[in-house]
Amino acid sequence: MPDQHNAPYPTRRAGRVRLPHLQEMKTRGEKWAMLTAYDMYSAAVFEEAGIPVLLVGDSAGNNVYGHDSTLAVTVEELIPLVRAVSRATQRALVIADLPFGSYQGSPEQCFHTAVRFMKEGGAHAIKLEGGLEMLAQVERLVASGIPVMVHIGFTPQAEHQLGGYRVQGKGDDAQRLVAVARAFEKAGAFALLIEMVPGDVAARITHAVSIPTVGIGAGSGCDGQVLVWQDMAGLRSGQLPRFVKQFADMRKVLGDAAQEFAAQVASGEFPGPEHTF
Ligand code: KIV
């Protein structure tokens, strides 16, 4: 565990990480990490490790509920996860992802869904995906005092329209993406999440806007980096996206522990007298 007093992250502060802290880190050129979290223990561990921002992502669809995409996850399924993460943390900024179909319909629909995530889930900010067609939604949230992060580039909720998991913003499309980023900054978004975009394009966006950018598969030029925690910790098996780095082998650690438990039950070693009333 890093030394609590020397760690640079604002989660070492006594109070909650707030939007100005992220903005100040951009000004100082300090990079920061964001992780997804979907439950109490992961949230508490990541906050303790100094992660300033936790995202309760719609990736819960794949990583909690076992779907093969994010499309199926519902507001009713996500709100309890947001509540668990916000209850378990005192300092991290908790961002709730709006699920597919819960905000695209209209700015009013977006507003009502976002309010549910903040009132019922205790989220501090909201994330939504999209391009310029989402400007009215972002403006509606900002006008209501709801901080909003906009997810641009590859937007998984539009995977069928985008023709699958493809890098966005290549070639001539780069200029369009920079314009999209600037438009969301102007609309009042507090940050941009940039997914699967060439590194030089994400760096261009990061320089073009004054708000923080967080990258995933977008190179090292963003202000922050985000990963799905099960990817980061090596819990997921099978083919991994190129942008994932595994920082531990949790699948092995958990598997070994479960095997040892089963072996000790079979041999009669567990429970011992010390575990028995
Ligand atoms: O839902 C999610 O996990 C995301 C990732 C891109 C971080 O949006």
Of 107, 93, 106, the residue nearest 143 (C-alpha): 107
Both tokens assigned to 184: 């969301």
Mean pLDDT within 220-248 = 97
Measured CA to CA in angstroms, residue 192 lies from 39, 182, 205, 213 at distances of 24, 10, 9, 5
Could you say which of 108, 120, 195, 260 is catalytic? Answer: 195
Nearest-atom number in ligand 1 for the CA of 129 is 8
151 CA distance to ligand 1 middle (Å): 9
Mean pLDDT within 108-114 = 98
Examine the pLDDT at 116 and tell me if it is beyond 80. Answer: yes
60 CA distance to ligand 1 middle (Å): 9
Q: Is-catalytic flag, 274?
A: no
Percentage of the chain lying above the pLDDT 90 cut: 94
Best residue for ligand 1 mutational test, from 54, 58, 85, 244 (most atoms within 8 Å of Cβ): 58
Of 225, 268, 222, 269, the residue nearest 243 (C-alpha): 225
Q: What is the pLDDT of residue 277?
A: 98
Mean pLDDT of the chain: 95
**pLDDT range class, residue 12, cuts 50, 70, 90:** low
**pLDDT range class, residue 9, cuts 50, 70, 90:** low
Examine the pLDDT at 64 and tell me if it is beyond 80. Answer: yes
